[in-house]
A and B are shown apart, each in its own frame.
Chain A
Amino acid sequence: MNLFMSIFKMTCKDVYPLISEEMDHSLSFSRRARLKIHFAICNLCQIYSKQLQTLRNLA
């Protein structure tokens, strides 16, 4: 229940460092889950993630 609640309380501010971190190593299961669930409800963070990926591919 705690994990469940904490996932839904995630804000963009909590999530956006994870978006970068995910590019450098595999996140733990719970952090990955948080990210995925946040993406499902937040278009802005999805765009942010795409942008960082674009930067990587441009470099």
Chain B
Amino acid sequence: MSEETLEPEKWVENYADMLYRYTLVRVKDPDVADELVQATLFAALKSQHTFAGKSTEKTWLFGILKHKTMDHFRSTKKNINLNITDADANLIQFDTTGHMTSSPNNWNVDPEKATENKELAQVLAKFMNGLSEKFHRLFVLKEIEGLSSEEICKEFGIKPTNLWVMLHRPRNQLKLCMESNWLTKE
């Protein structure tokens, strides 16, 4: 079995765009995404000797980027003020009897098959940019990085009940964005 080898001279050409897109979905700010990808390539260059050839070059680079991204999340978490009070703003309209005033549009997307829908994923990524910093961060950690509620609570020192309430907000906002801007055109 041939071992994987590194070809640093081709990294930029082969992976830079991929790494950048991966990062941009997670950090929102293009400048930060730029920095993280550069830092990743730089770190990879410096630690080439640690590459054991057990994974592919691509997986190895993404592994480094993932670490850099999580480091970035940790170092900037103090800027994120998780305040429960503005999480419960109702984005959906209800009538006085507590029923929705307009029917949600049936997306005709099988939730199970959504993972394969690249086009729709791009639309979602675009709308994620419209989330405020803190709801963006929560959504990314929970739904993209796949951290557990416990991990997120520990990270930010908040209670699970508060987290659950707060996670509803970005989901709700994204749902409404998807609905009003894209899926209804079908």
A interface, CB within 8 angstroms of B: 11-14, 16-17, 20-21, 23-25, 44, 47-48, 50-59
> Contact: B115 with A58, CB < 8 Å?
yes
Contact B106 A47 (CB under 8 A): yes
Whole-angstrom distance between the alpha carbons of A53 and B164 in the complex? 15
Bitwise, B123-163 to A at CB < 8 A (1) or not (0) is 01000000000000001001110000100000000001001
A25 to B98, CA, bound (A): 25
Contact A25 B164 (CB under 8 A): yes
Main secondary structure of the interface of B (DSSP, over half): helix
Please give the residue numbers on chain B whose beta carbons come within 8 Å of chain A beta carbons, in ascending order.
92, 94, 97-100, 103-104, 106-107, 109, 111-112, 114-115, 117, 120-121, 124, 139, 142-144, 149, 160, 163-165, 167-168, 171-172, 174-175, 178-179
From the candidates A13, A17, A21, A55, name the one contacting B143 in the complex (CB within 8 A): A55
Asked whether, in the complex, the Cβ of A12 is within 8 Å of the Cβ of B106, the reply is no
Which A residues touch B163, using CB under 8 A? 24
